[in-house]
Structure 1
Amino acid sequence: MLHQEQHHRQVMRMDQKKRVERTRSAKEEEEVILEIVDMSGMALKSMPDPSINTRFICKLDLSNNDLQSIPESLTARLLNVMVLDVHSNQLKSLPNSIGCLSKLKTLNVSGNMLQSLPRTIENCRSLEELNANFNKLTQLPDTIGFELINLKKLLVNCNKLVFLPMSTSHLTSLQILDARLNCLRSLPEDLENLINLEVLNVSQNFHFLATLPYSIGLLLSLVELDVSYNNITTLPESIGCLKKLQKLRAEGNPLVSPPMDVMEQGLHVVKGYLCEKINGMHNNSPKKTSWFGKLARCSTFNGANMPREDGDNYIMHNERSIDSLSSPKYLGMFSPRRLLSPRSYFSR
């Protein structure tokens, strides 16, 4: 009996010792110094065998080379990489294993020959900046906006994009969207969900982009809007409600409303003109009920606080902030499709 008790104590001491060793080993792994690997500008045509363990790489720079592909096996082993820069190469595609980069925050694939991005990129949920400028992209993954919830910068200028996927309007962390120099025919209708968007540039889509969605007036954080050099004849009246807007570029469009003499007087005058149109104060404007009017009649907005000449913006009924209704919880609430539906829709 005594022997069994001594043996039991000895086993327990050994188990405790092993647990301490495992804990110490785990702490040592956490303290491993991650490395930056810079192989830019080396005229590489293929990837050399890495001389260090790829799991210790936090930044990998392969820019300004002649790479035509990136091995699937390489990206699958970059477990701790946070920055991957492969700009200015000859890449025609990205490996599907890029979806394994769960810690990736910055991805720069600009200046290549990419025609599409792998759907697996949506698994990079830590991604904050995606730079795909100067490629041959004709479309983005349909579901890109549903999964990249931390994306702050989406840069896709100088491509061949015909449209942005509808899921783009779910990128609620997005601050900068640059889609100039493409072939965009339209923008997603539910832009109001981009509650943190500060800069929107859809300029130089030339004769392709002819209209802007009314929901652009609910981009509460928008500071800069560039719609220059398109085929737009009418700016949505809702732009007059953009309280934080400081810069508006619309030159190079065949604008009828606002007329050129108004545009030349600056942003303050333009916003005043558009606000007046919302209130129906321009007798020569088409007699139509704006979607803002529908919102007021349905008590979504307090009609008494509609914009006036002094530039007041909309105030929510019962003094509620519009921010609350533009949060992801109310996705699509203000989409023009709903707002312009029969009145009976709202009385259900």
Structure 2
Amino acid sequence: MKQHTLYLYVFYFVCSFSINSQTKLYKSLETALNNPNDVVKLFLGGKNLKTLDNRIGNLTNLEYLNLQDNQLTELPKSIGNLKKLKKLYLSNNNFTEIGNEIKNANQLIFLDLSFNPLRKIPDFVFELSKLENLQLFKTNLSSMPKKIKKLKKLVSLELGKNNFKVIPKVIFEIKTLRTLGLNSNNISVLPNSIAKLINLRELWLMNNNIEVYPEAINELQLNKLYLSYNNLSLLPDSIGEIITLEELGLMGNKLTDLPRNIMRLENLKILSLNENNFKKIPIILKKLKNLKYIYFSHKFISQEEIDDFEKNTKIKIINK
């Protein structure tokens, strides 16, 4: 199994974990129950909980609830009282299924079910009409129900570290998506239907089995494209058509050179080329005026060559 599979999930978690410093974050249910009407944010992560106290339902003004890193297998029915809940973290527990207890929390915009042995998406999820961000990293999924189309406001869908061999067709009908994470699956081909995701800005396909660059990607206005740790040996000139691209991850492939048209990526700032088969640093990259960092490591590349490349450019080569 290839490595480097968790950092995307960590990235999403850090970005979504930001908490308004003006709102008190409670870290004890007992303390929170002393002033139940005042509690808006509650963190009970990493407390080795096997059950959740039914009194959680008394915190009817709760908007943020973090229950990650416990041993929960079910939720109390009283959690249905949390009708103002907007962010719910249930990652890294022991849920094999989750009932409809959360169905009434129809204000949810963020839901993290990652690192649970679910095998299928709980039905209540499809009733969350305001949901924007759904995290399902490593949940043993291999298929996607058509009901996911009901999530009309979904902008971020994380499906990394699952068992997908192909991208489920229904995903291409979620036109609101801006971020799609499919790292560490068994995907070998991307269909032309990917071009239907007209609002997509970030596509993560690391640690798959892609051998041929999927040119349908070029029709998207991506800002971030990560194809690291696949089996790519060649990039087509057409990659230069994604002129909106700011970050391009190609590490861990079989590349020996880059196409000339890559110089058209005038907005590119970060390029990862580690662990390929380059014998020298592609000189064409000097033409990328906004490029700031190239991650490039190879035993054939000397410090002298790096210094010579960086001369008269603003590009920094990170050789590791």
Please say if residues 238 and 261 of structure 2, whose CA atoms lie closer than 8 Å, have aligned partners that are also in contact.
no
Which has the larger share of helix?
Answer: 1
The CA RMSD over aligned residues, in Å, is: 3.0
Please say if residues 153 and 174 of structure 1, whose CA atoms lie closer than 8 Å, have aligned partners that are also in contact.
yes
Please say if residues 201 and 226 of structure 1, whose CA atoms lie closer than 8 Å, have aligned partners that are also in contact.
yes
2:247 match? 247
For each residue in 1:126-178, what CA deviation from the matched residue of structure 2 results, as whole angstroms up to 9, or x when unmatched?
1111112233222233332x222222221222222223321212322322211
Shift of 1:203: 1.2
Please say if residues 213 and 236 of structure 2, whose CA atoms lie closer than 8 Å, have aligned partners that are also in contact.
yes
1:70 match? 75
2:263 match? 268
For the residues of structure 2 that align with 1:64 and 1:213, how far apart are their CA atoms? 37
Shift of 1:77: 3.0
For the residues of structure 1 that align with 2:88 and 2:138, how far apart are their CA atoms? 17
Q: Does 1:87 align with 2:82?
A: no
Shift of 1:236: 5.9
Q: Does 1:106 align with 2:107?
A: no
- Contiguous gaps of at least 5 residues in structure 1: 1-31, 272-309, 312-348
For each residue in 1:184-205, what CA deviation from the matched residue of structure 2 results, as whole angstroms up to 9, or x when unmatched?
2433532223222221110111
Please say if residues 116 and 139 of structure 2, whose CA atoms lie closer than 8 Å, have aligned partners that are also in contact.
yes
Q: Does 1:49 align with 2:54?
A: yes
Shift of 1:269: 6.9
Query: Aligned in 2, Cα 1:134/1:68: closer, same or farther, shift over 3 Å?
Result: same
For the residues of structure 2 that align with 1:51 and 1:227, how far apart are their CA atoms? 43
Query: Aligned in 2, Cα 1:177/1:235: closer, same or farther, shift over 3 Å?
Result: same
1:331 match? none
Shift of 1:56: 2.5
1:182 match? 185
1:170 match? 173
Give the greater-gyration-radius structure (CA).
1
| Larger mean Cα displacement after TM superposition, 150-159 or 231-240 | 231-240
2:132 match? 128
Please say if residues 131 and 154 of structure 1, whose CA atoms lie closer than 8 Å, have aligned partners that are also in contact.
yes
2:297 match? none
The one-letter amino acid paired with 2:217 is I
Shift of 1:52: 5.2
The one-letter amino acid paired with 1:157 is G
Shift of 1:88: 1.8
Q: Does 1:118 align with 2:122?
A: yes
Q: TM-score, normalised by structure 1?
A: 0.58
**Secondary structure of the equivalent of 1:56?**
coil
**Secondary structure of the equivalent of 1:84?**
strand
The 5-angstrom pairing of residues 122-271 of structure 1 reads 122-144=126-148, 146-206=149-209, 209-211=210-212, 213-220=214-221, 222-232=222-232, 235=235, 238-254=238-254, 260-262=256-258, 267-268=262-263
The one-letter amino acid paired with 1:241 is E
Shift of 1:181: 0.9
Q: How many residues in Structure 1 have an aligned counterpart in Structure 2?
A: 232
**Secondary structure of the equivalent of 1:122?**
helix
For each residue in 1:258-292, what CA deviation from the matched residue of structure 2 results, as whole angstroms up to 9, or x when unmatched?
xx2225x7932799xxxxxxxxxxxxxxxxxxxxx
For each residue in 1:71-91, what CA deviation from the matched residue of structure 2 results, as whole angstroms up to 9, or x when unmatched?
4x2443332211111112112
